[in-house]
Structure formats: structure tokens, C-alpha cells
Amino acid sequence: MHELAITESVIKVAVGAAAGRRIHAIHLAIGVLSSIVDDSVQFYFDILSRDSLAAGATLHFRRIPASAQCQTCGHQCSIEPPLPPACPACASVALRISGGMEFHVESIDVEDDVGS
Ligand SMILES: [Zn+2]
């Protein structure tokens, strides 16, 4: 249940960045290998944000792909789970996986300073 701690930090970051303004939406970037479940984040968000400026904000999730580079032939490709067991080009198992583990708040939408 690491989504709980993650969601807490998302709200903290968003509320801090909003500087007192009400938050309409939060855009999150999640690596495909990070094993974070969107629904769980949304679930905790609804509970934890209740008494904050982020209450009722919409969460948007963007998946960031991971990439694998073969250490044998240099073949590089973008991957999504399940991870390939071997290089699709030469069948070597010496794959280096990078990216796909990130999780961060990309941007937030807040109410306008001047009412519109
Ligand atoms: Zn290869």
C-alpha cells in the first residue's frame, strides 16, 4: 500500500505549489514499471484531500515508458510490462533497463487569481 504515502506527498506538493489557491486538477507522471495503481492513488486522494485546497481536484495520470538497451548488440527499445526476457534482436539476456520508475507531479491547475 505504498500509494498511501505517495498520495500524501502528492497533496503536500500540490498544496504547497498552489500557494493558497484552490486546486482544480493535478497532473501526475508515473513510470510504467513503478507498480503504482491509478485507482489506489485516486482512492487515497479522495480521502486525504478532503480538508485541503486539493479537495475535489481531478487527477490525471500520464504513463512514462521504460527503455531497454541490449548490452550485447546495442539494440534499444521502449518497453512496457511484462519485461522482455531477452533482446528481441539478438536474444541476449544482457538487457539494461532504464526509466519507467519515475513518479512525480508534472503540473497543477489552480483557480485563477482574478475571478474569470
Ligand atoms: Zn541484442
For the stretch 3-58, pLDDT in tens is 999 999 999 999 999 999 999 999 999 999 998 999 999 999 999 999 999 999 99
Euclidean distance between CA atoms 8 and 41, whole angstroms: 9
Residue 82 CA to ligand 1 centre (angstroms): 18
Q: What is the pLDDT of residue 1?
A: 55
88 CA distance to ligand 1 middle (Å): 7
Structural domain boundaries of the chain?
1-65+101-116, 66-99
- Cα(83) to centroid(ligand 1), Å: 15
pLDDT of residue 35: 87
How large is the average pLDDT for residues 70-87?
92
pLDDT digits (tens, 9 = 90+) for 85-102: 899 999 999 999 999 999
86, 92, 93, 95: CA torsion to nearest 10:
-90
In this structure, whether the domain defined by 1-65+101-116 belongs to CATH 3.30.365.10 is answered with: no
pLDDT over 90 (residue 83): no
Residue list for the binding site: 2, 70, 73, 87, 90
